[in-house]
Amino acid sequence: MTDFKKEARGRDCQIRIPGVCNFNPETTVLTHYRMSDTCGMGIKLDDRQAAWGCSACHDEVDHRTHHIDSDTARLYHAEGVMRTQAVLIEEGKF
């Protein structure tokens, strides 16, 4: 089984928020997408529902910084999840 957290190391950010992304693969981590009914108290987040995100994009989608509105951040994050999944599918890891 693929370790999605390890797969994120050294990868390009797939969230890519303009004006926020630092484009530094050394800071990339697995950034979970949070939706109601898929996370919360007693619910473990699924690593397949995540994007590779640089430290700056991760901070933005987790609301530690506020460069863009939260709905826009969620859209970039969702697109990042789809791009991440596409790469993993192409590599036969998803």
Burial (0-12, 13-18, 19+ Cβ within 10 Å), 65? middle
φ, ψ of residue 51 to 5 degrees: the values are: -120, 155
Please give the Cα distance from 67 to 85 (Å, whole number): 26
Rounded to whole angstroms, how far apart are CA atoms 56 and 33? Answer: 15
Stated pTM of the model: 0.90
Q: Which amino acid is at 14?
A: Q
Structure tokens at 16: 């890519």
* Enzyme catalytic residues: 32
The pLDDT value given to residue 93: 94
> 6 pLDDT band (50/70/90 cuts)?
very high
Q: How confident is the model at residue 42 (pLDDT cuts 50, 70, 90)?
A: low
Q: What was the pLDDT predicted at 1?
A: 77
Domains of the chain: 4-90 (3.30.50.20)
